[in-house]
Amino acid sequence: MRNLVAGFAAGTLLLVLGVLGYLRLGLADVRADVPPSWAVTRLFSEGVHASIRRTTPKLHNPVPVSDASLIEGGKLFLNDCVGCHGAPGQPPSEFGATFYPPAPQFALVGTAYSETEVFWVAKHGVRRTGMSAQGPSYSEEHLWMLASFISRMRNLPPSVANGIEQKPSN
Amino acid sequence: MRNFVLGMFASVVVVPLVVLLYFVFGLASTQADVSPSTIETQTMRQAVLASVRRSASGLSVPGPASNETLVVGGKLYVAGCVGCHGAIATPLQEDHDHFPPVPQLPYAETQYSEPELYWIVKHGVRMTAMSAYGPFYSEKELWAVAGFLHRIKSLPPEVVAAMQPRKP
């Protein structure tokens, strides 16, 4: 039994040293312009979604969802998110594809995240991706309107779809 | 001895499995608006440096830098990089919104050589917010950006003046 434990400890130590050595010798490819493998993509997206699901507090959207709030959120999206996440009715963003992992194209694939989870991700960002925290840049209210818009992006009422195209009057 | 080998084999199966489950159960934190730990920063920084050094070792700068090439690189920097990496001649504002934080290049100490900078701009850095610019810039432009970044702390004043966008 003692030998078993010693063997386990030695094996663990070797694994850790092996990983550190692999990184230290520069053997890990760091290029972002190679698409992630299926396994990495799965592990990463599952891990992120599981963590978001676990950590997102039970919040209630304080902004009543209406055409007006969706249009406001949509305009935010067009101003600040389309560069990476793609514009509605447009081909996927070429810029978003140059990140590793690539930026999800909400206009094309929608999102598996709930409205509250989208709010949480927009506010706090996602580690080790291109997604930065938007909390310092936007009010809570605006982040909620953005979240409402993104979570409904694939089935927007036509009035909203038209509304976000209009140029602001100022 | 048999038990020792058995224990080693068990660790090779169990440890990766535990790591996998740690991620699958969502125990890894994802919030980007906190600073990475020193250990994580050190490990990742060294891994990236070593990997870039290995990959870019065969490259050499294609030509000498001149004020013209520095202005070309500077204009590209102003157009494409300042949003995250910080503007020249403005006070340092540390980044707290990305994880890992984006280096503020006009102030950062860098260990990267010019070919290594070229390589990073071209290919990006995995699992950071640094995307690949190879698809958008010509080789000449990528080298101009690298030359500019390499000298970002010691630019001739006439280059700094010429690279700023003209005031309307």
Min Cα distance A9 → chain B (Å) is: 7
A31 in any annotated domain: no
**A125 interaction partners in chain B (CB closer than 8 Å):** 31-33, 97-99
Whether residue B69 contacts residue B2, with contact meaning beta carbons closer than 8 Å, is answered with no
Question: Environment class of residue B59 by beta-carbon count within 10 Å: exposed (0-12), middle (13-18) or buried (19+)?
Answer: middle
**From the CA of A100, how many Å to the nearest CA of chain B?**
5
Is A130 in contact with B129 (Cβ distance < 8 A)?
yes
Q: Which amino acid is at B138?
A: S
Q: Which domain holds residue A134?
A: 56-165
Rounded Cα distance between A77 and A107, Å, is 11
pLDDT greater at residue A162 or residue B135: B135
Percent of chain A exceeding pLDDT 70 equals 97
Residue A51 included in any domain: no
The verdict on a CB contact (< 8 Å) between A7 and B24 is no
Per the prediction, chain A carries an average pLDDT of: 94
Confidence of residue A75 (pLDDT cuts 50, 70, 90): very high
In one-letter notation, the amino acid at residue A72 is E
Structure tokens belonging to residue B18? 């535990």
CATH topology of domain B31-163: Cytochrome Bc1 Complex; Chain D, domain 2 (1.10.760)
**Could you tell me if residue A15 is inside a domain?**
no
- How many angstroms separate the CA atoms of A34 and B132, rounded? 10
- Say what the ipTM of the complex is: 0.91
Q: What is the CATH number of the domain that holds A110?
A: 1.10.760
In a domain, A38, yes or no: no
- A170 secondary structure, DSSP code: -
For B141, residues 6+ apart whose C-beta sits below 8 A from its C-beta are B72, B73, B76
Q: Render the burial of B30-45: b for 16+ CB within 10 Å, e for the rest.
A: bbbbeebeeeeeebbe
* pLDDT for position A170: 45
Please give the Cα distance from B39 to A41 (Å, whole number): 25
Of B4, B28, B130, the CB nearest to A51: B28
pLDDT at A166: 66
DSSP A78: H
B97–A7 C-beta distance less than 8 A: no
* Burial of B5 (C-beta count, 10 Å sphere; 0-12/13-18/19+): middle
Is the distance from CB of B30 to CB of A49 less than 8 angstroms?
Answer: no
Task: Find the closest chain A residue to B122 by CA distance.
Answer: A33
**Residue burial A133-155, b: 16+ Cβ < 10 Å; e: rest:** bbbeebeeebbbbbbbbbbbbee
CB contact under 8 A, A134 and B127: no
Distance from CA of A75 to the nearest CA of B (A): 20
| Average pLDDT value for residue range A117-131 | 97
How far apart are the C-alpha atoms of A103 and A159, rounded to whole Å? 27
User: In the block, which residue shows the tokens 């663990």?
Assistant: A12
> Could you tell me the pTM of the whole model?
0.92
The two structure tokens encoding residue B88:
């020249």
Residue A145 in any domain: the answer is: yes
Q: Which residues of chain B are modeled with pLDDT < 70?
A: 167-168
Total number of domains constituting chain A: 1
- Residue A35 in any domain: the answer is no
* pLDDT of A168 above 70: no
Instruction: Report if residue A154 sits inside a domain.
Output: yes
